[in-house]
Amino acid sequence: MNRTNNRVRILLLNAALGPLDYRVPDGMQAPPGTIVIAPLGPRKVPGVVWEAESFPSDEIAFKKLRPLLEIRDVPPLAAPLRRLIEWTAQYYFASPALVLRMVLSSGAAFADSRPIIEYRLNGNIPARMTPQREQALAKLKDEQGTISELAFKADVSVAVIRGLEKSGALDRKEISTIASLSTPQADFGKVKLSSDQQRVSDILISAVKASTFKTYLLDGVTGSGKTEVYFEAIAEALRQDKQTLILLPEIALTEPFLDRFQTRFGTEPLAWHSGLKQSERKKNWRALADGQAKVVVGARSALFLPYKDLGLIIVDEAHEVSFKQEDGVRYHARDVAVMRGLKESIPVVLASATPAIESRHQVEQGNYELLELPARFGAATLPKIEALDLTQNIPAKGSWLAPNLINALEENLDKGEQSLLFLNRRGFAPLTLCRTCGFRINCPNCTAWMVEHRLTKRLACHHCGHVMPQPETCPECGDEDSLVACGPGVERICDEVKMLFPAARTAIVTSDTIWSPAKAGEFVAQMEAGSIDIVVGTQLVTKGYHFPNLTLVGVVDADIGLEGGDLRAAERSFQQIAQVAGRAGRAEKPGHVFVQTRMPDAAVIQALINGDRDGFYAAETESRRIAAAPPFSRLAAIIISSEDNAEAMETARLIGQTAPQFDGFAVYGPAPAPLAMLRGRHRHRLLVHAHRAVDLQDILRDWLHQLEWPRAVRVGVDVDPYSFV
Ligand code: ADP
Ligand code: ZN
């Protein structure tokens, strides 16, 4: 027997190490893609058998190789997925092991098919009570989960939950990790499409049938039926017995989506997001890997899962920046979705009412096919958008809503219709200031103000999560009653609404209040039941939702988005306001939108009022072209951070000084990052700008790999950055 056939290269789930070679024991079969357990020192580490030629050679002599320990009884990772892992690692400067971790979803893949043990309260009261036990008993009333999940939900230590179990307060339940799913039915709740919808749907159906790679930009105004249309493509994939992946930008959107999917296909799709319990995660992973799950809907992490037979990928609300992951592997799920489509030879649909300039550019380049749905479905018309000039229509002192908007809210209340106020700021006030000494309360770990959250009576840092009780005296000068809240957040706007309309039923919708799909489900149910009159929300309410009785939208501050000034500020403002406006008047009743601004003549506002989407895009694209900004060039950010500022600065300077010189390649910086301190680490940035023809990654790799810096310094590369802080 040829001994080299018994040598395999394993990509281990250990980011610190490169792939290592192992020996396959006699009688074991381990072709590429096989999921294995390998010895590493005294430990057993999971890994995947890889093609040796994908990684630099491992010089260890055959006779020194350690044998693999076992092969897991799960489907091997297919070649297209292995190629996607390599591409993602190389494009985004990540270790392949980190990307592999997303595929194997932290262990879900390695667990065997034994059931998971979950616990729930059984009503017994333990003989000995402690404050922690009491807290757990109160918080876990309707919860069931593993010991650690319950500890997390109750905000107590694992030992407390173990103690409760010993004292007989918890019942033990075996949860099977074998899914039993019903298959969605292609023709269950078929709707009759309009002729525009039919035309687009026919194209998508042929694409699914053809089963070749192609990217479609499904561009249709809010409420035009994009979802109904891509449902037809999913129906075709079901007929072909192929799997479909639908990516949504927020997990909060999955719950309403599940219902809608069920109406159309008779059963729910499989959900994948960070809110899943361990038992669900394990079950779902297996169900999609063995092909039992035909349709999976999920947040961006669903993109890397090992589908058995993927036939279609849909990215809904494809313009959303939340598809960009900002830590770990800094990938953009929209772009990786297209790459996965290429590797798998399947169509990819990017759906949006406000496509990204990047996506439109791909259409212009002939890379994507544009599919348009120009009008709202049925009797629904696009809402009338009106600017409210805050310098003319001035809010009362200490309040934020202009008189015209207040009148409109009042009329809408009288009509029994629902209203939405949009402000993209969580909490009560973004800044707390001392009137006496001018002190501003900052986060101790970040260059950021502490945001007041009045509902929880705390100040919180939105960057690192640091919280502190609301102080009663100024931390600087000690004066009493001198602290004032500056500026509004959604909680403050909601207070104003309650003062104006004490009888109105209000709801605040932010990631603080809607932190799970179940919470989102409750909110949707309340809206549909008509038990909410006025919603005050952040970007979380701008997308996806469809509330027929919601007819008035007020944008509290249209100018906020333009403040940051990064290259996509105008585009993002436009998208956000167009999306939130799109929540109004989605059914028979017409919608009305008021946009509060101090700059009614700004191009963004004018485009919104005049419904001149194409004009706005054309002007914005042209200004990017002139500035040689993406998509007409490529960017990468290099972020250097350390707890020791001198070390961080020194490393940043070293990187800056050794920057290579090429045509069409320029390096700016280093400079302290706008967010100069984050989670206690000092941050410096460089920005790399390159012509599209330049191989940015190659240059960066050659440049950075020859440098050395202190161990405590972290150097991260953000390719195609969306955040510039
Ligand atoms: P979009 O995804 O473009 O925002 P939706 O697919 O959510 O649009 O459609 C908006 C509303 O119109 C939804 O309630 C949807 O069920 C309804 N609708 C769209 N097309 C049809 C159709 N052909 N038949 C019946 N209802 C439709
Ligand atoms: Zn902080």
With a 6 Å cutoff on the Cβ, whether 144 touches ligand 1 is no
Q: How far is the CA of 448 from the centre of ligand 2 (A)?
A: 6
With a 6 Å cutoff on the Cβ, whether 585 touches ligand 1 is no
With a 6 Å cutoff on the Cβ, whether 228 touches ligand 1 is yes
Ligand index nearest the alpha carbon of residue 677: 2
- CA 129 to chain CA centroid, Å, is 41
Please identify, by atom number, the ligand 1 atom nearest to the C-alpha of residue 221. Answer: 3
Ligand index nearest the alpha carbon of residue 466: 2
CB atoms within 10 A of CB 350: 26
How many residues belong to the chain?
A: 725
Please identify, by atom number, the ligand 1 atom nearest to the C-alpha of residue 220. Answer: 3
Q: How far is the CA of 588 from the centre of ligand 2 (A)?
A: 46
Contact 62, 105 (CB under 8 A): no
With a 6 Å cutoff on the Cβ, whether 227 touches ligand 1 is yes
What's the DSSP call for residue 664? T
Q: In this predicted model, what pLDDT tens digit does every residue of 660-683 receive, in sequence order?
A: 999 999 999 999 999 999 999 999
Q: How far is the CA of 465 from the centre of ligand 2 (A)?
A: 6
Distance CA 7, CA 17 (A): 18
With a 6 Å cutoff on the Cβ, whether 162 touches ligand 1 is no
Instruction: Identify the pLDDT of residue 80.
Output: 98
- Region 352-367: mean pLDDT is 96
Instruction: Identify the pLDDT of residue 179.
Output: 73
Please identify, by atom number, the ligand 1 atom nearest to the C-alpha of residue 582. Answer: 4
Instruction: Identify the pLDDT of residue 114.
Output: 72
Instruction: Identify the pLDDT of residue 110.
Output: 65
Nearest CA, atom 17, ligand 1: 225
pLDDT above 60 for 350:
yes
398: left (phi over 0), alpha (psi -120 to 50) or beta: left
- Region 374-400: mean pLDDT is 91
Q: In this predicted model, what pLDDT tens digit does every residue of 68-82 receive, in sequence order?
A: 999 988 889 999 999
Ligand index nearest the alpha carbon of residue 353: 1
Q: Which residue has the tokens 């405590």?
A: 712
With a 6 Å cutoff on the Cβ, whether 354 touches ligand 1 is no
Strand ranges inside 147-194, DSSP E: 170-175
Nearest CA, atom 26, ligand 1: 191
With a 6 Å cutoff on the Cβ, whether 554 touches ligand 1 is no
Please identify, by atom number, the ligand 1 atom nearest to the C-alpha of residue 373. Answer: 3
- Rounded to 10°, the helix 254-265/226-239 angle is 60
Helix locations, 416-566, DSSP H = 490-500, 517-528, 560-563
Main-chain phi, psi angles of 37, to 5 degrees: -115, 125
Nearest CA, atom 9, ligand 1: 225
Ligand index nearest the alpha carbon of residue 678: 2
Ligand index nearest the alpha carbon of residue 221: 1
3-state helix, strand, coil in the chain (%, to 5): 35, 25, 40
With a 6 Å cutoff on the Cβ, whether 412 touches ligand 1 is no
Q: In this predicted model, what pLDDT tens digit does every residue of 112-146 receive, in sequence order?
A: 667 788 999 998 888 889 999 999 998 898 888 98
pLDDT above 60 for 4:
no
pLDDT above 80 for 308:
yes
- Ion ligand 2: residues, CB < 5 A: 443, 445-446, 461, 463-464, 466
Instruction: Identify the pLDDT of residue 185.
Output: 96
Closest residue by Cα to residue 136 from 126, 122, 151? 151
Instruction: Identify the pLDDT of residue 573.
Output: 92
Is 0.85 topped by the overall pTM?
yes
With a 6 Å cutoff on the Cβ, whether 633 touches ligand 1 is no
- CA 530 to chain CA centroid, Å, is 29
Q: How far is the CA of 676 from the centre of ligand 1 (A)?
A: 46
Nearest CA, atom 20, ligand 1: 225
- If one compares 4 and 147, the residue with the highest pLDDT of the two is 147
Give the three-state DSSP class for 312.
Answer: strand
Q: How far is the CA of 349 from the centre of ligand 1 (A)?
A: 17
- For 290, counting Cβ atoms within 10 Å of its Cβ (0-12 exposed, 13-18 middle, 19+ buried), the class is middle
Instruction: Identify the pLDDT of residue 106.
Output: 53
Distance CA 131, CA 126 (A): 12
Q: Please give the order of strands across the beta sheet that includes 35-40.
A: 20-23, 7-12, 43-50, 35-40, 70-71
Q: Which of 220-224, 333-337, 466-470 has the highest mean pLDDT?
A: 333-337
Contact 9, 21 (CB under 8 A): yes
With a 6 Å cutoff on the Cβ, whether 225 touches ligand 1 is yes
Distance CA 95, CA 215 (A): 28
Q: In this predicted model, what pLDDT tens digit does every residue of 619-647 receive, in sequence order?
A: 999 999 999 999 999 999 999 999 999 99
With a 6 Å cutoff on the Cβ, whether 546 touches ligand 1 is yes
Instruction: Identify the pLDDT of residue 105.
Output: 76
Please identify, by atom number, the ligand 1 atom nearest to the C-alpha of residue 229. Answer: 6
Helix locations, 582-724, DSSP H = 603-609, 613-626, 645-657, 696-705
pLDDT above 60 for 461:
yes
Q: How far is the CA of 307 from the centre of ligand 1 (A)?
A: 29
* 196, 228, 546: residue to mutate for ligand 1 pocket, most atoms within 8 A of CB: 228
Q: How far is the CA of 173 from the centre of ligand 1 (A)?
A: 42
Band the pLDDT of 177: cuts 50, 70, 90.
Answer: confident
With a 6 Å cutoff on the Cβ, whether 47 touches ligand 1 is no
With a 6 Å cutoff on the Cβ, whether 197 touches ligand 1 is yes
pLDDT above 60 for 2:
no
Determine the longest span between alpha carbons in the chain, in angstroms: 87
- Region 546-571: mean pLDDT is 89
Nearest CA, atom 5, ligand 1: 225
Instruction: Identify the pLDDT of residue 1.
Output: 42
Closest residue by Cα to residue 146 from 161, 135, 127, 125? 161
With a 6 Å cutoff on the Cβ, whether 544 touches ligand 1 is no
Nearest CA, atom 6, ligand 1: 225
Please identify, by atom number, the ligand 1 atom nearest to the C-alpha of residue 231. Answer: 6
Nearest CA, atom 14, ligand 1: 546
Helix locations, 66-111, DSSP H = 79-91, 96-104
With a 6 Å cutoff on the Cβ, whether 579 touches ligand 1 is no
Please identify, by atom number, the ligand 1 atom nearest to the C-alpha of residue 197. Answer: 23
Instruction: Identify the pLDDT of residue 76.
Output: 93
* 377, 575, 588: residue to mutate for ligand 1 pocket, most atoms within 8 A of CB: 377
Q: In this predicted model, what pLDDT tens digit does every residue of 257-292 receive, in sequence order?
A: 999 999 999 999 999 988 888 888 888 998 999 999
With a 6 Å cutoff on the Cβ, whether 582 touches ligand 1 is no
With a 6 Å cutoff on the Cβ, whether 573 touches ligand 1 is no
Instruction: Identify the pLDDT of residue 652.
Output: 98
Nearest CA, atom 19, ligand 1: 225
What is the token pair recorded at 580? 């939130």
- Find the range with the poorest average confidence among 190-199, 375-384, 593-602: 375-384
pLDDT above 60 for 387:
yes
